[in-house]
Structure formats: structure tokens, C-alpha cells
């Protein structure tokens, strides 16, 4: 029940933001410098948020903490990949 209320609250916030942007765009079209500045600020904030999400991995959540052994195994796999396949297991001839 509480999760539904949270979803409703989020949708209300999104609707408010959209309404605000529409009002600002109408005011900007009429020549309001304050509205133009506020729209520019909102766009810059949105661009920064998008860049941050992209840097994190396109909307993926942060990685969960891992243990020392798992971290060492991942580091070893990454190190092997860094040698262009020279260290990968397989059959080799001299």
C-alpha cells in the first residue's frame, strides 16, 4: 500500500515539473527574460543529470559491494583481457 503512495507522489512531482516547464516555455515565447533564464537552467541541470547517468552506466544502479576474493577474481579477469588474449587459457604451440 505504501509503495503505491510513493509511486503516486513521484507521478505528481513529474506532472508538476512538466507543468512548470510548459508555463516557463509559454512565458519565454512571450519574451520573459526570467523565464528564459529559468528554462536554460533547467536544461543545463537535465543535461548534467544525463551525463552523470551515462557515466554511471546508462541508468544502471551502483554496483553492490563485493568481497575481497570476488574483487581479486574480477581484477584478474580484467588483467587477462588487457593482454589481448595472450594470457587466456587454451592450447598453445611453440
User: What would the pLDDT profile of 40-93 be if each residue is shown by its tens digit?
Assistant: 998 888 888 888 888 877 545 566 777 888 888 777 776 656 555 555 566 656
By percentage, how much of the chain surpasses pLDDT 70? 73
Cα Rg, the chain, nearest whole Å: 24
Q: Where do we find the cell 537552467?
A: 41
pLDDT digit string (tens) for 3-38? 777 788 888 888 888 899 899 999 999 999 999 999
Angle at which helix 33-56 crosses helix 2-29, to 10 degrees, equals: 130
C-alpha span between 92 and 90 (Å, rounded) = 6
Q: What is the pTM of this model?
A: 0.48
The overall average pLDDT reported for the chain is 78
- The per-residue pLDDT for 50 is 82
- Scanning the structure block, which residue is given the C-alpha cell 507521478? 11
Write down the pLDDT at residue 58.
Answer: 58
Residues 50 and 68 sit within 8 Å (Cβ to Cβ)? no
10 three-state secondary structure? helix
Amino acid at each position: 500500500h505504501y509503495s503505491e503512495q510513493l509511486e503516486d507522489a513521484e507521478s505528481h512531482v513529474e506532472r508538476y515539473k512538466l507543468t512548470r516547464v510548459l508555463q516557463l516555455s509559454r512565458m519565454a515565447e512571450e519574451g520573459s527574460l526570467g523565464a528564459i533564464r529559468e528554462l536554460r537552467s533547467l536544461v543545463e541541470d537535465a543535461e548534467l543529470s544525463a551525463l552523470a547517468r551515462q557515466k554511471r552506466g546508462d541508468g544502471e544502479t551502483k554496483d553492490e559491494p563485493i568481497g575481497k576474493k570476488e574483487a581479486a577474481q574480477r581484477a584478474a579477469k580484467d588483467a587477462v583481457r588487457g593482454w589481448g588474449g595472450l594470457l587466456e587459457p587454451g592450447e598453445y604451440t611453440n
